[in-house]
Amino acid sequence: MPRNPDVDPRPFVLEGGRVGCLLVHGFTGSPAEMRLLGEYLHESGLTVSAPLLAGHGKEPEDLNRVTWHDWMASAEKALEALRARCDIIFVGGLSMGSLVAVHLAARHADLAGIILYSPGLKAANKLLYLAPIVRHFVRQWPGDPEEETDLLDPEAPGRLWHYETVPTNGAYELLKMQRVTRRVLPQVQIPAIIFYSTQDATLDSASPRLTLEGLGSQDKELVILHKSGHCMTVDCEREAIFARTLGFITAHGGA
């Protein structure tokens, strides 16, 4: 079962101008976590697309039937559709979605820039590293209890749709994607901005630094926050994050 079943997990497209932004959600999550950001960018004239990655948005067991290549295929399909509408395209990703954004940037050098929110290069939960073994015995393990959220805005958890359990084969695919992404980072040459909060309980604190140092981009920046949890796009500092995102887009040809 999902947490917050009344929240809409479906993909969305907001029609705007010829500047577009692809927004990619995180592991076990949904486009709902990118909805407020998408609406903010759309109000500024952008066309926004937030796809639903394979294995997400329905039942947790679905994530045990896909690979990280399927997540990339979902994003590639959405990017191709966005190209039909837009001349300039940026890609933003949250957590695992940031890994998808990195791979898209490595494959498509004509993208105008990438925005990485809570970059999911390295997890704090060491249980993830047992996934290659555990997946043979356990199909799913419990997610974090709702009361243990790192989100500081009390209304923030209610803005999210995500699975209550963690599919173990899906976790193994995430682990593989993290390892491949480390090798892909130097291939990214386009502008990049990274957002990370010191309150993030999901990521290893080294994750943003490893991401920043690994990127091959000459134009790259790390923004450190202190009042947001992992899903920062729905938390206390979201308005400042949204404004900084739009500033990055404007500064790199997306006026």
Question: With 0-12 CB in 10 A as exposed, 13-18 as middle and 19+ as buried, what is 204?
Answer: middle
* Catalytic residue status for 25: no
* Catalytic residue status for 95: yes
Two structure tokens written together for 209 = 């630094």
* Catalytic residue status for 204: no
pLDDT score recorded for residue 125: 84
Ordered by where they begin, the domains of the chain are 2-251 (3.40.50.1820)
Q: Among 25, 56, 103, 230, which one carries the catalytic annotation? A: 230
Q: Among 95, 98, 197, 217, which one carries the catalytic annotation? A: 95
Q: Among 98, 200, 217, 235, which one carries the catalytic annotation? A: 200
Where does 108-255 have alpha helices with state H? Answer: 131-134, 168-184, 207-214, 238-251
Q: Which of 160, 140, 142 is nearest to 150 (CA)?
A: 160
pLDDT score recorded for residue 4: 76
Average pLDDT of adjacent 10-residue blocks, the chain of 255 residues: 81 97 98 98 97 96 97 98 97 98 98 98 87 84 77 94 93 96 98 98 96 98 97 98 98 81
In angstroms, the CA 116 to CA 201 distance is 17
In angstroms, the CA 226 to CA 141 distance is 30
pLDDT score recorded for residue 2: 65
* pTM of the full structure: 0.96
- 68 contact partners, CB below 8 Å, separation of at least 6: 173, 174, 176, 177, 180
What DSSP designation does 154 have? T
